[in-house]
Homo-oligomer: A and B are copies of this chain.
Amino acid sequence: MIDPLITKLESYTRLSEEEKEFLNRSPSQFRDYQPNETIAFQGGYPTESCVIVKGFACRFKILPDGRQQILALHIPGDFCDLHSFSLKKLDHAISAVGPCSVARVPHEKLQQASDLFPNLSRAFMWNLATDAAIAREWMVSMGRRSAREQLSHLLCELLYRLKPMGLAENDAYEFPITQANLGDATGLSTVHVNRTLQELRGEGLITLRGKLLAILNLQRLKEVAGFDPGYLYLPAAPNG
């Protein structure tokens, strides 16, 4: 079952029973991944696209000398490489961040969906477009925000994305992302991520115990980050 995807798409447009049925039947495979396990290889030619069903995944590029950059963090409901349908060759890898369940949808099914259900086709385009919008905001973060702003911004973003999926309660959510991951996502060093998070904790803005991240003062964290959720194109503000 790929309920999270349906939940997400329905935040954009109402889906008919037929459409849901079609989506539910479309995955050719379901699989669980260990933290850090590769879901799709950089340079590969996938014939399926991946829906995250449970847990977190990330897309990243790795340079010849080992430096790596995370391009996107994906949560349940995300169709994370829809573009491989148009581009064929994958210019980045996808891997699990923490334990993660993935459904694979063959490209033929996507083609059929587009042919049969214009509404689904639009929903896929919207998924693609919101992914790109998030990427744009990350660019702003990497280019123009300080470490402090950038990390706060990312934590706010995750809250706003997880909430409509029912994965955040009281401004807290499961957080399997390591500080090394955060470094690769933000373009910072692990050490500096650590110190910056300590700063945020010291100010009583967040806590990070075990794998649970809690935002203690969302209002102030948003101010620190300069966070405006508009770019997420959420249907309505989460009631928080």
Please judge, given known A-B contacts A139-B138, A140-B61, A142-B187, whether A233 and B87 are in contact too, CB under 8 Å.
Answer: yes
Taking CB atoms, residues of chain B closer than 8 Å to A187 are 142-144
A136 touches B135 (CB 8 A): yes
User: How many copies of this kind of chain does the complex include?
Assistant: 2
CA distance A231 to B83 in the complex (A): 13
When the two chains form the complex, which single residue of B64, B87, B140, B231 contacts A69, counting CB atoms closer than 8 Å?
B140
A133 touches B87 (CB 8 A): yes
CB distance from A118 to the nearest CB of B (A): 9
B69 touches A144 (CB 8 A): yes
Taking CB atoms, residues of chain B closer than 8 Å to A142 are 139, 142-143, 187
Residue of A122, A133, A136, A186 with most chain B CB atoms under a 10 A cut-off = A136
Number of interface residues of A (CB under 8 A): 39
1/0 per position for A215-240, CB-CB distance to B under 8 A?
Answer: 00000000000100011010000000
A137-153: which residues lie under 8 A (CB-CB) from chain B?
A: 137-140, 142-144
A86 touches B139 (CB 8 A): no
A126 at the interface (CB under 8 A from B): yes
A95-152: which residues lie under 8 A (CB-CB) from chain B?
A: 122, 125-126, 128-133, 135-140, 142-144
A144 touches B226 (CB 8 A): no
Taking CB atoms, residues of chain B closer than 8 Å to A83 are 128-129, 132-133
Taking CB atoms, residues of chain B closer than 8 Å to A91 are 133, 136-137, 230-231
CA distance A91 to B138 in the complex (A): 13
Interface residues of A (CB under 8 A from B): 61, 63-64, 67-69, 71, 83, 85-87, 89, 91-92, 122, 125-126, 128-133, 135-140, 142-144, 184, 186-187, 226, 230-231, 233
What are the 7 closest A-B residue pairs judged by CB atoms, nearest first? A143-B187, A86-B129, A142-B142, A69-B143, A69-B140, A83-B129, A67-B144
Apart from the given pairs A67-B144, A83-B128, 8 other A-B contacts in the complex at a CB distance below 8 Å: A61-B137, A63-B226, A85-B125, A86-B125, A87-B129, A128-B128, A132-B135, A143-B186
A sample of 12 cross-chain residue pairs with beta-carbon separation below 8 angstroms, ordered by A number, consists of A61-B137, A69-B140, A69-B143, A71-B139, A83-B129, A85-B125, A86-B125, A87-B126, A87-B133, A91-B231, A128-B132, A143-B184
